[in-house]
Amino acid sequence: MNRKVLVFYYIISLLFLLVVLGFTAWRFKVTLESNLRQAEDAFADLKVSALSTYLAEGSFSSEYFKYNLRQQASLLPRLLAVAIRSPSLGVEYLWARNRQVLAAEPGGLAGPEYRLERVRDRLLQAPFAQEYVLDGVFRVLDWRDLAPLLRELFYLLVAYLVVTAAALVAVSSGRALAAGPAAASGAGAATAAGYVPLSASRIAPPARPRAAPVSGLAPREELPSRLDHELERAAASDQDLSLLLLALEPQQAGAFGQLAHQVLQAFPFRDLCFQYDERTCAVILPDKELSQSLKDARAFQRKLGETMGGGGRPPVSMGLAARNGRLANATRLLLECSKALEKALAEGGGRIVAFQADPEKFRKTVAG
C-alpha cells in the first residue's frame, strides 16, 4: 500500500471514529433525558397517590399509607428511596431499596442524606401537604440502558472493519492486475488462499425471538400500560372496568399451569390475561361493574372447583377492584386489587374479596 492510500485511510478512520463517538454521545444524551422524563412522571404519580392516601388516612404511620408506598415502590424498579420530611419535625417516613442509598442514619436529622452516583442517580423533590417535602431518588441510567448503545457501537465498528477489509482486497487485486498476467495469477491465488471474507452474519450475534411466558399469559411488564389504556378507554366512553387477581394457595403453586389454562379458556380476551407472579394471574374485565365482576368470579370459582378442587372449594383466592366512575390510574387499581387479594389469602379457603371504592371520597381527596 503506497503512502497516499495509507494517509487517506488514516484520515477516513479518524473521521469515522469522531462520527461514531458523536453519535454514541447523542444516543447517550437522548437515553438519559428520556429516562429522566419517565422518572419525573413516575414521581408526579407517586406524589398524587401518596398525598391522596395521606389525606384519606390523616397519618403517616397508617398501615394503609405504608402499604400504599411499598406497593408503589414495587411497581417502580428505578426508584431507590422515598422520604417525607419536615424542616421542623424531621423525617416522617423513609423507605430505601437498600442501605447503600443512604449516606448516614436519618435519626436526629432534618432529612436523610443520600449517597448519589454522578450521572446515574437523580434526587427529585416536591412540596407535600403543608410544611412537608417529598423526596424521591431514582436511578436514571443503568447497565440495561448502556447495553443497546454498546451493541450499536459494536455493529458500527464491525461494519467499518468489513468495508475496510473489502477495500484492502480491492486495492491488492488492482495492484496485482497492473503487474501483468503472470503476476496477477500468482497474486490472485495467494489472495484466494490467504483471505477469508468477513460477513455480518458471521460476526453479529443471531437475532433472538422474544420468549413468551410458559403459561401462555401475557407478561406482567405489559400489565400497567395495558391497564392504563383500558382505563382511559373506559373513562372516555363513561363505562366501568374491573381488575381481577387470582392466586393459588402457597402449597398449590405447582398447579399454576392448570390455573393459567382455565383462565385462558374462561375469559374471552386472551390479551387481557397476564401472569402476575409465579402463582398469580391478573385479568382485565372491560365494561364490567364490580357487582357483575363478582358474579363472574364466583361462577369461575365454581368451575375451578370442578376442575381443580375435586368438586369442593378450589385452592384459589381472588381479589377484585373496579374503576367505579373514578379517574383512577393503573397504579391505584393494582394497589386496591392487591389489597383485596391479600385479605382473601389471609382468610384462606378460596375466598373472594372485592374492594369497594367511594368515588365521591376519591374526588374530594384528589382535589384537596
Structural domains counted in the chain: 2
Please tell me whether residues 108 and 236 are part of one structural domain.
no
* CATH classification at residue 321: 3.30.70.270
Element (H, E) at 187: helix 181-194
Higher pLDDT, 109 or 12: 12
Residue 195 domain-assigned (yes or no): no
Residue 188 domain-assigned (yes or no): no
Residues 108-129 have a mean pLDDT of: 83
Q: Residue 89 pLDDT > 50, yes or no? A: yes
Residues of the domain holding 95: 26-141
Q: Residue 273 pLDDT > 90, yes or no? A: yes
> Closest Cα partner for 228 from 330, 154, 139, 146?
330
**Residue position matching grid coordinates 406482567:** 220
The DSSP code sequence of 17-76 is HHHHHHHHHHHHHHHHHHHHHHHHHHHHHHHHHHHHHHHHH--TT-HHHHHHHHHHHHT-
pLDDT band of residue 201 (cuts 50, 70, 90) is very low
Residue 72 domain-assigned (yes or no): yes
* pLDDT (0 to 100) of residue 183: 37
Please tell me whether residues 328 and 231 are part of one structural domain.
yes
**% of residues, the chain, pLDDT over 90:** 35
**Cell for 48?**
398524587
Q: Of 121, 141, 161, which closes a domain?
A: 141
Q: Of 125, 141, 157, which closes a domain?
A: 141
> Closest Cα partner for 337 from 354, 316, 360?
354
Residue 237 half-sphere exposure toward CB, CA atoms < 13 A? 11
Residues 213-218 have a mean pLDDT of: 77
Residue 10 domain-assigned (yes or no): no
* pLDDT (0 to 100) of residue 365: 42
Dihedrals phi, psi of 173, to nearest 5 degrees: -65, -40
The DSSP code sequence of 230-246 is HHHHHHHTT--EEEEEE
Q: Residue 207 pLDDT > 80, yes or no? A: no
Residues 241-247 have a mean pLDDT of: 95
Residue 8 half-sphere exposure toward CB, CA atoms < 13 A? 8
Angstrom distance (rounded) from CA 212 to CA 338: 24
Residue 148 domain-assigned (yes or no): no
Please tell me whether residues 38 and 125 are part of one structural domain.
yes
pLDDT band of residue 187 (cuts 50, 70, 90) is very low
Angstrom distance (rounded) from CA 273 to CA 276: 9
Q: Of 98, 117, 141, which closes a domain?
A: 141
Q: What is the pTM of this model?
A: 0.42
Angstrom distance (rounded) from CA 224 to CA 23: 33
Residues 201-210 have a mean pLDDT of: 37
